[in-house]
Structure 1
């Protein structure tokens, strides 16, 4: 069969391949065999509808689910951080209480040491107990040293400013009364009382600051003999003339 020129023109105008061209096109074959039903340029509405349909059927893409949940997780973490920032911070403790265990001593004897250290800076009170001749001073010294360490370590109080704000003594459990034999068939009773001492440490002025404040207070009471009379009352006036 011979082709004529007019036949070739009619074939080209109809959009058909020329007689000498190959009919096999690999890209079209891949689209027809492997990617049937896939369109090159799908509208956004169809893509979203297909994703929703896949979610309903339970065959959605895992990576798309993770990327969709990521903004929600970030918003949740941000809200938690804001809640933590708004929460009020804990107040710093202002005092520390500590006490000894009940040991064998009279509460009257132990109260003497309590009055000696009450209101004193902690270092000065430890120094007083170190040179005290009382038998219970060693027990009180160890208690004060432990209380000072705990206040600085656990309550974050400044160790150089600790002052014994309060000190008191309480009675402990009284053991059974013992019989003490006497002469001529008589007997007496003997008791062994127990007690303990408690202290409260707070931040206050140091010993140097207390001395400076006392010196300033004493200087303010002095009335000088200046040219202009100062408007201050005379302290402790003499009952008679001074000459």
Structure 2
């Protein structure tokens, strides 16, 4: 019954539209709206609508480009589209991904948050990592038995990644040039004792700061140590001399 009623209303509306002298475009819009009003909510129509909208979105960019080209041929192009960026000077790199110069920072500072630990205990870990390459310091914290070593290891890993990503510092040359400990707040609590006595218990907090700079790689350090050892060997000793052996040591070795 609903279908019969809708068809009857559609015929009446169409007859009403045809009886009046209305422009063809307005008749087409009105008839389309009536068709959409009487459309069913089945899955087929819903899928058609989705596919139709997606195809329209894909063709939108091409239509825009075609319209811009047509306006440019008629001399009605946008003023801002006609402006071109200035050409780079001679010897100046272009502002592209290939020609863009990376600025390498001299150092990178990082620190932990203030957490509950004695500054004296945390200072032991600061002395352990100071002056070492960043990867060697992280390895030291991995095998350390201290309770705060996990927190220090996480801080060093984040500092290394930030220095590499945001400041373009080479990862294999990062060295912890400085490491120090700063005191945090001290919380005071009641320390209950016997015989009605009480004291004050202090809960100390501290944080560690590090400064990462570019140093020498492990291979460079090994090469320098080898060169220093070779420089100490100025001669082969008594073997290369034609003189008699002197001061060859005691006769008995016990």
User: For this structure pair, what is the TM-score category when the shorter chain's length is used for normalisation?
Assistant: 0.5 to 0.7
Pair 1:122-2:154 in alignment = no
DSSP 3-state at the match of 1:193: strand
Pair 1:185-2:196 in alignment = yes
Q: Give the superposition deviation at 1:206.
A: 1.7
CA distance in 2, matches of 1:160, 1:189: 48
Matching of residues 14-53 of structure 1 within 5 Å: none
Matching of residues 73-84 of structure 1 within 5 Å: 78=86, 81-82=88-89
Which structure 1 segments of 5+ residues have no match? 1-65, 230-239
**Partner deviation per Cα, 1:157-202 (whole Å, 9 max, x = no partner):** 1111111111111011222x11111112211111111111011111
Pair 1:196-2:213 in alignment = no
**Partner deviation per Cα, 1:192-236 (whole Å, 9 max, x = no partner):** 11111011111211223222212221221234316469xxxxxxx
Matching of residues 96-175 of structure 1 within 5 Å: 96-175=108-187
Moved over 4 A (4+): 80-83
DSSP 3-state at the match of 1:216: helix
Determine the structure 2 residue equivalent to 1:213: 224
TM-score by length of 1: 0.58
TM-score by length of 2: 0.55
Q: Give the superposition deviation at 1:152.
A: 0.8
Q: Give the superposition deviation at 1:143.
A: 0.4
CA distance in 1, matches of 2:248, 2:240: 22
Inter-CA distance 213–81: structure 2 relative to 1 (3 Å threshold): closer
Inter-CA distance 81–241: structure 2 relative to 1 (3 Å threshold): closer
Q: Give the superposition deviation at 1:81.
A: 4.6
CA RMSD in angstroms comes to: 3.5
CA distance in 2, matches of 1:160, 1:122: 8
Question: Who wins on radius of gyration, i.e. which is larger?
Answer: 1
Inter-CA distance 189–157: structure 2 relative to 1 (3 Å threshold): same
Inter-CA distance 82–210: structure 2 relative to 1 (3 Å threshold): closer
Q: Give the superposition deviation at 1:106.
A: 0.8
